């Protein structure tokens, strides 16, 4: 059989060889590092036997799906250790996730830190024992019998779902332990040299708060200890940068029991938020967008027309007014449709680019809430572009360039994913194909690398998602471009074409920041609270070394304010070292220290949060440099 390897290299192998055997034949190094395979794009087990010509990728820990096989296997090692130490623990699920894995257990009392240490020690023993993983299949009735005899009710529930479809059920065994699992897994447990159980949390079975609360153990693993150590260092750094902690310390926002998932922005946080919004308005005005504002609450008929009532109602807050159902908007787009329809448009008007900074509300489960990253109300920096089919490619390119400009400004790298038609989609296959090809064409013409994310589009159209990478290497999905043929059709939106006939426009939904609240959370952690000068809520603090210099310090403050800088004066009767430490903890970009010498010479002693002591500078020169730094939006 002919096997096309990564890079297009075509090699012949005997039919009936497993992926593991092929890896071994290519090189022992590849075999030792192999975690899984991908045959014609489908991820599978290294035990998979090949009989026909195909494309084959042998996945190592360097590839995402290779990592997942490695982490999934480690979750089984953890479950084996738990069952050895706590035989009465019931097994639920244990998947690979971003940056590691977890396993859910039903136990009488949650695991303690001491328990976690014991589990890690037992895991080390299991890895040393070097078990091979063996896959075996059972008919549904035998699988159910086996799991019922083991007293594993959660596994029985999962197996019944396969049994109802008449499917054979797959298991993996390592030593005395076996688990209901589709895989893929490593060939043996031996490569799992470095791992760490990182935290314990509660989790409802299947995410349903009406089900029993389980105990979830999170962990991660790497082939090399150095990689684990580096990851744990990043984790510690992430704790220091936690936006919830810094948000409180820097007086940016607060979260209360009275409004779970509804953040309060404090004065300094509002400066940060408004600065981002001012920048958003500036670049959107430049790019020919007009700004609108639509109501926060609209009636049921609108949401039925848009499709949200049928496809998104469980995430919407609803109420009844004058015997009519209303919903608080979870999205801005239906309101934008009404604005478009309020006027008859000509083809000469298109494209129309309408921006909206709309406050939206979505019901998130309490367990999913996380600071500003996952909230129940947030400001979406939406825009909706109405256009003709001939304008699709140029408009998408324009949005991509805008998003690229914004992310580069903040120093973010990013990667792009194209998400295609989901199972709950609306509209014809032809419309979906046209929309998807329109997005692909724009990305291809811009020579942007992208990954296709099958089946993850919005219910009304395919989308391009931008996943930015922060200073710790973590990724966040923020910007998105969604091409929509369905909403203009549902709302019967029209324009008069060059032929004098009525035509249906095509619509782009897009965001750059995504959620402004979430983007602020990302920025706090990206910059560790030490914002660049143009974003900092407080840009300069004046620090007189004694009370007799207060008048002079106040004059400097007014001079800075007149130049448009955000400045404060620390007029407390405290030692200058204390004042500097306080300003440093508040991560203020510049401290201006004013003593007798500075007062006589018309200078200020400049101290930078980032670079330390910069020496004495004439006040006019400092103002000139500071204003240029703000104007240039220097990072």
Give the DSSP H or E segment for 103: strand 100-106
**C-alpha 523: how far from chain center:** 13
Residues 6+ apart with CB under 8 A from 609: 530, 583, 584, 587, 588, 589, 590, 591
Angle at 556 between CA 554 and CA 559, to 5 degrees: 115
The two tokens of residue 55 are 């494309």
Is residue 39 within 8 A of residue 90, CB to CB? The reply is: no
Is residue 529 within 8 A of residue 556, CB to CB? The reply is: no
- Order of strands, edge to edge, in the sheet holding 502-503? 345-346, 495-496, 502-503
- Active-site residue list: 333, 362, 380, 382, 384, 463, 509
**C-alpha 255: how far from chain center:** 21
- For residue 261, which of 332, 364, 379 has the smallest C-alpha distance? 364
**C-alpha 94: how far from chain center:** 22
The pairing of strands 96-97 and 352-361 is unpaired
Rounded Cα distance, 453 and 420, in Å? 6
Residues 6+ apart with CB under 8 A from 541: 567, 568, 569, 570, 583, 586, 588, 590, 591, 592
Give the DSSP H or E segment for 106: strand 100-106
Is residue 193 within 8 A of residue 224, CB to CB? The reply is: yes
Q: What is residue 568's three-state secondary structure?
A: strand
- The DSSP output letter for 85 is H
Is residue 82 within 8 A of residue 119, CB to CB? The reply is: yes
Backbone angles phi, psi at 274, to 5 degrees: -70, -30
Rounded Cα distance, 299 and 296, in Å? 10
Is residue 240 within 8 A of residue 232, CB to CB? The reply is: no
Rounded Cα distance, 359 and 481, in Å? 19
Rounded Cα distance, 188 and 190, in Å? 5
- The DSSP output letter for 368 is G
Q: What is residue 499's three-state secondary structure?
A: coil
DSSP characters over 154-202? HHHHHHHHHHHTT--EEEEEETTEEEE------SBSTT--EEEEEEEEE
- The DSSP output letter for 370 is B
Q: What is residue 514's three-state secondary structure?
A: strand
**Strand residues in 339-487 grouped as ranges (E):** 345-346, 352-361, 377-387, 413-419, 450-453, 463-469, 475-484
**Neighbouring C-beta atoms of residue 623, cutoff 10 Å:** 20
């Amino acid at each position: 059989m002919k096997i096309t390897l990564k890079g297009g290299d075509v090699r012949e192998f005997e039919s009936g060889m497993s992926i593991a055997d092929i890896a071994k034949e290519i090189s022992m190094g590849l075999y030792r590092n192999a975690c899984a395979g991908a045959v014609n794009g489908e991820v599978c087990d290294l035990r998979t036997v090949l009989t026909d010509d195909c494309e084959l990728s042998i996945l190592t820990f360097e590839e995402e799906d290779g990592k997942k096989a490695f982490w999934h296997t480690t979750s089984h090692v953890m479950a084996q250790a738990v069952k050895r130490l706590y035989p009465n623990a019931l097994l639920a699920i244990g998947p690979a996730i971003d940056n590691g894995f977890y396993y859910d257990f039903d136990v009488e009392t949650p695991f303690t830190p001491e328990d976690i240490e014991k589990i890690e020690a037992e895991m080390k023993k299991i890895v040393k024992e070097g078990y091979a993983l063996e896959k075996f299949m059972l008919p549904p009735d035998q699988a159910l019998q086996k799991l019922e005899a083991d007293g594993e009710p959660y596994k029985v529930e999962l197996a019944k779902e396969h049994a109802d479809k008449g499917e054979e059920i797959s298991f993996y065994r390592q030593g005395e332990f076996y688990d209901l699992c589709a895989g893929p897994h490593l060939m043996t447990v031996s490569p799992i040299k470095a791992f760490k159980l990182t935290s314990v949390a509660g989790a409802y079975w299947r995410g349903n708060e009406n089900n029993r609360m389980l105990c979830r153990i999170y962990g991660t693993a790497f082939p090399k200890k150095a990689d684990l150590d580096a990851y744990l260092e990043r984790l510690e750094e992430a704790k220091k940068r936690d936006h919830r902690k810094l948000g409180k310390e820097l007086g940016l926002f607060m979260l209360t029991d009275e409004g779970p998932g509804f953040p309060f922005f404090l004065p300094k946080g509002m400066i940060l938020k408004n600065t981002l919004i001012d920048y958003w308005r500036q670049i959107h005005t430049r790019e020919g967008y007009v700004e609108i504002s639509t109501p926060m609450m609209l009636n049921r008929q609108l949401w039925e027309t848009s499709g949200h009532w049928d496809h998104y109602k469980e995430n919407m807050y609803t109420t009844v007014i004058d015997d009519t159902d209303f919903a608080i908007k979870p999205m801005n787009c239906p309101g934008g449709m009404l604005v478009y329809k309020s006027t008859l448009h000509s083809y000469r008007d298109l494209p129309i680019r309408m921006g909206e900074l709309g406050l939206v509300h979505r019901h998130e489960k309490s367990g999913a809430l996380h600071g500003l990253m996952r909230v129940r109300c947030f400001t979406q920096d939406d825009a909706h572009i109405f256009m003709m089919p001939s304008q699709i490619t140029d408009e998408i390119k324009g949005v991509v360039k805008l998003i690229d400009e914004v992310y580069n400004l903040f120093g973010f790298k990013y990667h792009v994913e194209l998400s295609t038609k989901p199972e709950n989609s609306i509209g014809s296959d032809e419309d979906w194909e046209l929309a998807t090809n329109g997005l692909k064409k724009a990305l291809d013409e811009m020579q942007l690398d992208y990954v296709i994310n099958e089946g993850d589009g919005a219910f009304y159209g395919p989308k391009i998602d931008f996943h930015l990478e922060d200073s710790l290497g973590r990724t966040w999905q923020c910007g998105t471009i969604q091409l929509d043929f369905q909403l203009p059709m549902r709302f019967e939106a029209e324009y008069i074409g060059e032929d004098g006939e009525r035509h249906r426009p095509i619509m782009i939904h897009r965001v750059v920041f995504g959620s402004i609240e979430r983007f602020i959370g990302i920025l706090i952690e990206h910059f560790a609270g030490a914002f660049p000068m143009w974003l900092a809520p407080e840009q300069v603090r004046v620090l007189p070394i004694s009370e007799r210099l207060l008048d002079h310090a106040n004059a400097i403050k007014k001079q800075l304010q007149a130049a448009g800088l955000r400045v404060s004066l620390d007029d407390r009767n405290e030692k200058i070292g204390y004042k500097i430490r306080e300003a440093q903890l508040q991560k203020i970009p510049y401290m201006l220290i004013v003593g007798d010498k500075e007062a006589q010479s018309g200078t200020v002693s400049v101290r930078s949060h980032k670079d330390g002591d910069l020496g004495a500078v004439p006040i006019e020169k400092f103002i000139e440099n500071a204003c240029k730094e703000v104007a240039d939006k220097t990072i």
